[in-house]
Amino acid sequence: MVLPSSHSRAGAVADLRYSILSLVAQSFRGNTAWRPVWREPEPKPAYDVVIVGGGGHGLSTAYYLAKEHGIGSIAVVEKSWIGSGNVGRNTTVIRSNYLDHANIPFYEWSLKLWEGLEQDINYNAMVSQRGVLMLYHSDAQRDALARRGNAMRLNGVDAELLDRDAVRRLVPILDFDNARFPIHGGLLQPRGGTVRHDAVAWGYARAADSRGVDIIQNCEVTGITVENGRAVAVETTRGKLHARKIGLACAGNSSRVAALAGLRLPIESHVLQAYVSEGIKPLVPNVITFGAGHFYISQSDKGGLIFGGDIDGYNSYAQRGSTPMIEDVMEGGVSLIPTLSRLRMLRSWGGIMDMSMDGSPIIDKTPIEGLYLNAGWCIGGFKATPAAGWCFAHTIARDAPHELNAAFRLDRFAAGHLIDERGAGAQPNLQ
């Protein structure tokens, strides 16, 4: 069933390795000799593994399936163009400053993969470890962050508890003496930071393509064929693709795609917005999260301030939000950094989030054989891109989760093993 020719790299457009020499050579040719960095193959009738969703998670899964597990015949099918979903809409923050014992090792592995990613895939993703600072505004918050920092350190993650003066030296522009929410200090993870999000999609796409993965864009999955309890094929707008295994990585659309196989998920889709100001000179040196409201901010290399807050809070598949949340986020921002009120906001946009009911993700097999699920990332799945792909690839290839994603089970809701670290989930009827 599986076509052997899929091992060969038809066209092999990605053979060019980027280096200082390749850049110089290209510039002498007036930058006219650059070629597309991945192929645009026609879908084949059959693959070993088909991944649904060409976001960060789908592309990294395909890459690690090929690289770590030697799977030769893989397709990633994407309904639009790759990077059109949340991987290109997020605020680019990466960190591993978690508290729960199920989360810390997973997110730390992700941060380690980020640290080696650009060498691994030979692509500049502008990984910038500028530090992530969580502020505290009361004694109780300091105790909670001290506990978090200790949990991180026990797991080998870097964490420093800073007092007010140390935070002031780092970021003098904050409103330290705010009457309601004075800043008492912060928990710094120096290795956290930001990554250029589009480059993550493109870099993984190029690296996966060069290992023979077919990236098939403008190809929406419209059906999943299940025979005798086993998923055997996906129907798409570009024909039927048979597969021995099918992995779903559809971010905000997980419920809809899983429903094609008759599954009902503990997930609601919600809209989350992001905002960018006009470009200014360096003002915000790292990623800062406000402890007294839902607001966080960093500054891009172009100079724009990038910030965000909460989900709008109601089911949505529209990739745009509403004005009350914009107002709420701006209020949070101006409380933390009063000088923001002098800036103009350039743009805002929305992305559709899979809000799982406990705020934590799912990387698991499903009750349907041959069908695997990566979903429920809520508002924080960008930082997970490398480890989610790595663990999902392991789960698909070995038919069992890796130790790192063993807690991210689909059946944990029925079993009562929720992950007690609220990344802010949806609306379970708990009362």
Give the C-alpha distances (Å, rounded to integers) separating 182 from 115, 174, 292, 417.
34, 10, 9, 37
Residue 317 interface partner, choices ligand FAD, another protein, none, CB cut-off 5-8 Å depending on type:
another protein
Q: Give 18 or 413: the residue with its C-beta nearer to another protein.
A: 413
Residue 382 lies near ligand FAD (rule: CB under 6 A): yes
Residues numbered 143 to 202 that lie near ligand FAD (CB under 6 A) are none
Rounded Cα gap, residues 353 and 425, in angstroms: 10
CA quadruple 301, 59, 369, 406: dihedral sign: negative
Would you count residue 19 as binding ligand FAD (CB under 6 A)?
A: no
Which partner from the list another protein, ligand FAD, none does 414 bind, CB cut-off 5 to 8 Å by kind?
A: another protein
For residue 203, the partner it binds in another protein, ligand FAD, none, with Cβ less than 5 to 8 A by kind, is none
Contact 275, 329 (CB under 8 A): yes
74 binds another protein (CB under 8 A): no
Tokens of 71: 């799977």
Cα angle, residue 103 at apex, residues 100 and 105 outer, rounded to 5°: 115
Query: In this complex, which beta carbon is closest to ligand FAD, that of residue 72 or of residue 376?
Result: 376
Given ligand FAD, another protein, none, residue 124, with its beta carbon under 5 to 8 Å by kind, binds none
Which of ligand FAD, another protein, none lies near 114, with the C-beta cut-off 5 to 8 A by kind?
A: none
Query: Toward ligand FAD, which CB reaches closer, 151 or 251?
Result: 251
Least Å from the CB of residue 387 to ligand FAD: 11
Q: Are strands 230-236 and 46-52 parallel, antiparallel or unpaired?
A: unpaired
- The 10 Å Cβ neighbour count of residue 196 is 16
Tokens of 1: 């069933």
- What distances in angstroms separate CA 116 from CA 119, 125, 127, 200, one per listed residue? 6, 11, 10, 13
CA distance 247 to 217: 16
Interface residue with ligand FAD, options 51, 157, 368, 379 (CB under 6 A): 379
Binding residue for another protein, selected from 118, 220, 413, 421, defined by CB under 8 A: 413
318 binds, among ligand FAD, another protein, none (CB under 5 to 8 A by kind): another protein
Beta carbon nearer to ligand FAD, 73 or 90: 90
Q: Does 222 bind another protein (CB under 8 A)?
A: no
CA distance 303 to 308: 16
184 vs 392, which CB is nearer to ligand FAD? 392
Q: What is the DSSP-derived secondary structure letter of residue 312?
A: E
Could you give the C-alpha distances from 372 to 86, 247, 251, 357, 427, in angstroms and in order?
20, 5, 14, 19, 25
Task: Give the x-and-dash track for 353-382 against another protein (CB under 8 A).
Answer: ----x-------------------------
> Count of alpha carbons within 13 Å of 262, Cβ hemisphere only?
9
Segment near ligand FAD (CB under 6 A); pick from 12-20, 47-55, 105-113, 278-286: 47-55
Closest to another protein by CB, 97 or 269: 269
Work out how close the CB of 312 gets to another protein at its nearest, in angstroms, rounded to a whole number: 8
Distance, CA of 85 to CA of 353 (rounded, Å): 10
77 binds ligand FAD (CB under 6 A): yes
Among ligand FAD, another protein, none, what does residue 58 contact (CB within 5–8 Å per kind)?
ligand FAD
Residue 78 binds ligand FAD, judged by CB under 6 A: yes
Q: Please give the order of strands across the beta sheet that includes 345-356.
A: 160-163, 185-189, 132-136, 287-289, 296-299, 304-315, 267-279, 345-356
Residue 316 burial class via C-beta count within 10 angstroms: exposed 0-12, middle 13-18, buried 19 and up: buried
Q: Is 389 in the site for ligand FAD (CB under 6 A)?
A: no
Cβ closest to another protein, residue 178 vs residue 319: 319
Contact yes or no for 205/63 (Cβ under 8 A): no
Stretch that binds ligand FAD, among 118-126, 238-246, 377-385, 409-417 (CB under 6 A): 377-385
Applying CB under 6 A, which part among 14-22, 53-61, 239-247, 401-409 lies near ligand FAD? 53-61
Closest of 48, 55, 108, 95 to residue 77, by C-alpha: 55
Interface with ligand FAD in residues 225-264 (CB under 6 A): 249-253, 257
The partner in contact with residue 316, picked from ligand FAD, another protein, none with C-beta cut-offs of 5 to 8 angstroms by kind, is another protein
Report residue 280 as tokens: 């200014």
Residues that bind another protein (CB under 8 A): 253, 255-256, 259, 264-269, 313-318, 322, 324, 357, 413-414, 416, 426-430
Residues that bind ligand FAD (CB under 6 A): 52-58, 77-80, 84-87, 89-93, 220-221, 249-253, 257, 272-274, 308, 351, 377, 379-383
